[in-house]
A = this chain, B = another copy of it.
Amino acid sequence: MKDRRTFLKQSGILTTSALLYSGTGLSAMAQSEQGTYTHAAQKGSRWLDGSRLVVSVSMQFEAGGQPENAESPFPQNMQKGYKDLPAETWYQYGYREGIPRMLDNWDKLGIKVTSHMVGGAVLKNPELAKEIVQRGHEAAAHGMNWATQYTMPYAEEKKFIGDGVDAIRKITGFNPIGYNANWLRRGENTLKILQELGFLYHIDDLSRDEPFIQKVNGKAFVTVPYTLRCNDIQLIEGKNFSVDQFINQVKMEFDQLYQEAATRRRQMSISFHDRIGGTPQMVQATKELFTYMTNQPGVNFKRKDEIARMALEDKTTITE
């Protein structure tokens, strides 16, 4: 779906000023040292490309790369030495039905997403990994498997991340420049390693509603922030919402951020996982919600690599 604001602009119906200054003013807020306090909102300084609200959608591709007897909705009481066969089928759903259903939904809605892919999942279902990229979505990295990386020594962590990158590059042809650790649990070395490996951004940070830049090894490294509060792994699997609660909650998030986005840079972050967000009930819910969202002027769904590049290019991006 085309950006209605762009349409209106081109039609000359609304001037740029009107589009940018349509909201109520926000109080100016001081910036404390080390960027712990939100950057002063400059009138009109929203996104470099003129977007009002940027929405970042994640479609995590993990199934097939999970360890044996990984957590699932089944009672966690398997006896030692036995494989949890039904739990395996719950994961299989992620690539047999989940991702394909979501891919069709993104086409229907006309949006592009970022898919953080676990290396093992890519190797298990190479055709699916390739299809995600071929249909216009970003392939980002998510480790080689589900191992805990924050306890790894430097070299081991670097290999762990690198192997996952190689799998994605080799199978899909896409070079990943963004990273997501398992449960966001990075270690003290992670950002340095990511930069050495050529990454531009990571998402393992919940602290803001807009991207920001940190110096890592003296060079800029972008955070494209993430949320748990609009994330199916917390809402649906973890905190047991029904899908209509998911809609209600994420819609209210949108309504507030959309208002704020009239006068300052705002990014919304929503996340789906193959076996959770890809169910028929979740895809129906998402379709209703995103149809509502895409109908508001100035709302742009963007891949995280686009967001990261725009943040780097924009001199007004918060820099810590």
Contact = CB atoms under 8 A, between A and B. Distances in A.
A243 B253 CA distance: 10
A127 B39 CA distance: 13
Given A32-B125, A97-B38, A253-B279, A86 B284 contact: no
Contact of A86 (B37, B73, B204): B204
Most central of A73, A205, A230, A242 by chain B CB within 10 Å? A242
Interface residues on A, range: 35 or more
Determine how many copies of this chain the complex contains: 4
Interface stretch (A110-118, A233-241, A296-304, A305-313): A233-241
19 contacts: A27-B103, A27-B104, A29-B100, A32-B127, A36-B96, A36-B125, A73-B228, A73-B234, A79-B148, A85-B188, A85-B204, A240-B241, A242-B245, A242-B248, A242-B249, A244-B245, A249-B281, A253-B280, A256-B283
Interface of A: 24, 26-27, 29-30, 32, 36-38, 64, 73-75, 78-79, 82-86, 89-90, 92-93, 95-97, 100-101, 103-104, 107-108, 124-128, 131, 148, 150-151, 183-188, 204-209, 228-230, 234-235, 238-246, 248-250, 252-257, 260, 268, 279-281, 283-285, 287
